[in-house]
Amino acid sequence: MSQSAATQHAPSNHDQPQFKHPHKVMLGLYIGAFLGMLSETSMNIALPDLCEAFGITTGTAQWMVVGYMLAIGVVLPCVGFLLKWVKAKTLVLVALACFLAGSVLSAVAPIFPLVLAGRIIQGVGTGIVLPTMYAAIMRVFPPMKIGAANGVAGLVIMFAPVIGPTLSGLLIGAFSWRAIFALFAIVAIAAIICTAAFFITPIETTRPKVDMPSVIASIIGFGCLVAGISLVADMGFSPLVITLLVVGVLVIACYAYRQLHIDNPVLELRALGIATFRIPALMVTCSFACTLAIMYLAPQELQRGLGLSTSMAGMLMLAGGIINAICSFATGRMYDKVGARPLVRAGAVVAIIGSVLFLVIGVTTAPAFFVLAHVVFMIGIPLMQQSAQSAALKGLPRELAADGSTILNTMQQVCGAIGTAAATCLLGMGSGASEAQSFVAGSRYGYVFGLVLVVIVFMFSFFLKEGRERR
């Protein structure tokens, strides 16, 4: 479609979106977001193979997960500002090109540092695509269809955990871990083609003044914080880790203060002052951290605790992933009818039951019981996360959609890194008569951590206030 056509159809802050085929417009972003989540959830099952291939420890291999989230956490706070300077279509194409380049580098790298470098480059691409997708949804779809649109987005990105572990296990079994990155490259090419063909820039570029101190503070602050959290699992609270954490917290505090006191902030943090956004955003953050912790623990427990092969571990996670994707789509439809509060509470109760079932798993547990626990847990998570996310974005004025999406995704990724690091630390605390029993015991500590996060979401649901539709 020509740029003139895009201008004709792009909505202003006060107009209803007028896109004739909005899902077609969003197709490239859907694939890009799917790719980001596929990459985020596919690595867990490959960590043992990476340890064997390069002779590295589990703590070092964990950087394939945490380094990815570190890159996302550094890039995310700047996306809202970038969308005010660069056309969304251009920004998305650059992000997808980064993901493609990173995937190719990781696929052919002869040493682990280069594999990790490619992984970090992929994180840069994902850090741009995810908030851009949700910001675009707020502009492409009318307010009364935001829930359904987020349901479709949820279906797309949660389809990644459906096939991610399973597909990764099959690729590793048939070829090697390198085949996973080859798959990423193929999907990235498809996303680039669809974005170039169909995406229309729905977000206005106002080009405000660039505040470089804020940009630098964002990179240093979020980078140090995520790095410090991630190193706790491998180094404990060493002087380096404590320094990174202290510097990260202090710099982020200065960054936040500056955003609230300058005319053109890099990130409009005043959105957090809106209760209809702040409370569901906290709920999304907790549920996302819980999800990443469980997704980190479960495939490894199947392999090291229950003694199953990589391929079998991937297959056992398929049923829960399918249920998750279906529930994500259904939750979007239900949200438009009943709102977020009843869905969040129902989801929290179901996820609590699933977490308790995970705690029962032992080295002799039948794989079918694991599938049951995983399915129950995956029913509850989208009911909580998807409805709370729709409520958070809908609770903002349309002009804050890009900043709100960036804030929401930044909170998720930073706390997701915390969740993964916490799960890794708790995993190391397990002890037993055998290595398998120790691994299962450590996993249980991680499942308790996830259970606590779900209970927090349930408690937040009693303070949830939902905003009216924006016209």
427 plus 331 within the same structural domain: yes
- Write out pLDDT tens, residues 6-42: 333 334 444 444 567 787 888 888 999 888 888 877 7
407 plus 340 within the same structural domain: yes
Length of the chain: 471
Sequence-ordered list of residues with C-beta below 8 angstroms from that of 344, at least 6 positions apart, any chain: 283, 383, 384, 387, 388, 457, 458, 461, 464
Q: Which of 218, 248, 263 is the last residue of a domain?
A: 263
In this model, does residue 345 exceed pLDDT 90?
yes
User: In CATH, what number is assigned to the domain containing residue 54?
Assistant: 1.20.1250.20
pLDDT of residue 343: 92
In this model, does residue 402 exceed pLDDT 80?
no
- Write out pLDDT tens, residues 109-140: 989 989 999 999 999 998 899 888 887 887 77
148 plus 201 within the same structural domain: yes
197 plus 296 within the same structural domain: yes
243 plus 298 within the same structural domain: no
pLDDT band at 162 (very low <50, low <70, confident <90, very high): low
- Write out pLDDT tens, residues 171-190: 888 788 899 999 999 999 99
197 domain residue, yes or no? yes
Question: Averaging pLDDT over each range in 244-258, 389-403, 404-418, which range is the top one?
Answer: 244-258
320 domain residue, yes or no? yes
pLDDT of residue 11: 40
In this model, does residue 82 exceed pLDDT 90?
no
471 domain residue, yes or no? no
pLDDT of residue 467: 55
pLDDT of residue 292: 80
189 domain residue, yes or no? yes
Average pLDDT rounded to a whole number, residues 156-165: 72
Structure tokens at 183: 């798959």
Cα separation, 46 vs 148, in Å, equals 34
- Write out pLDDT tens, residues 269-282: 888 888 888 899 99
469 domain residue, yes or no? no
What DSSP character marks residue 203?
S
249 plus 296 within the same structural domain: no
Cα separation, 310 vs 167, in Å, equals 10
- Write out pLDDT tens, residues 141-158: 776 777 777 777 777 777
What is the tally of structural domains in the chain?
Answer: 2
- Quickly list H helices, 236-340: 239-259, 275-300, 310-316, 318-338
227's enclosing H/E stretch is helix 212-235
Other CB atoms within a 10 A radius of the CB of residue 112 amount to 18
In this model, does residue 93 exceed pLDDT 70?
yes
Average pLDDT rounded to a whole number, residues 448-452: 92
Range of the domain at 225: 209-263
225 plus 105 within the same structural domain: no
280 plus 248 within the same structural domain: no
Structure tokens at 374: 């995983």
Structure tokens at 172: 């590793």
173 domain residue, yes or no? yes
pLDDT of residue 8: 36
Mean pLDDT is lowest, of 139-153, 254-268, 372-386, for: 139-153
Other CB atoms within a 10 A radius of the CB of residue 185 amount to 18
173 plus 242 within the same structural domain: no
- Write out pLDDT tens, residues 196-231: 988 887 767 677 777 788 888 888 888 888 778 777
pLDDT of residue 18: 59
Determine the Cα angle at 425 with ends 420 and 431, to 5°: 130
The proportion of the chain whose per-residue pLDDT surpasses 70, expressed as a percent, equals 92
- If phi > 0 it is left, if psi is from -120 to 50 it is alpha, else beta; for residue 153 that is alpha
Sequence-ordered list of residues with C-beta below 8 angstroms from that of 60, at least 6 positions apart, any chain: 51, 112, 234
Phi, psi angle pair for 420, to nearest 5° = -65, -45
131 plus 248 within the same structural domain: no
Cα separation, 371 vs 377, in Å, equals 10
In this model, does residue 469 exceed pLDDT 60?
no
86 plus 190 within the same structural domain: yes
470 domain residue, yes or no? no
131 plus 199 within the same structural domain: yes
pLDDT of residue 7: 36
Q: Which of 263, 293, 327 is the last residue of a domain?
A: 263
468 domain residue, yes or no? no
Other CB atoms within a 10 A radius of the CB of residue 202 amount to 24
Cα separation, 82 vs 329, in Å, equals 30
Q: Which of 263, 294, 327 is the last residue of a domain?
A: 263
Mean pLDDT of the chain: 82
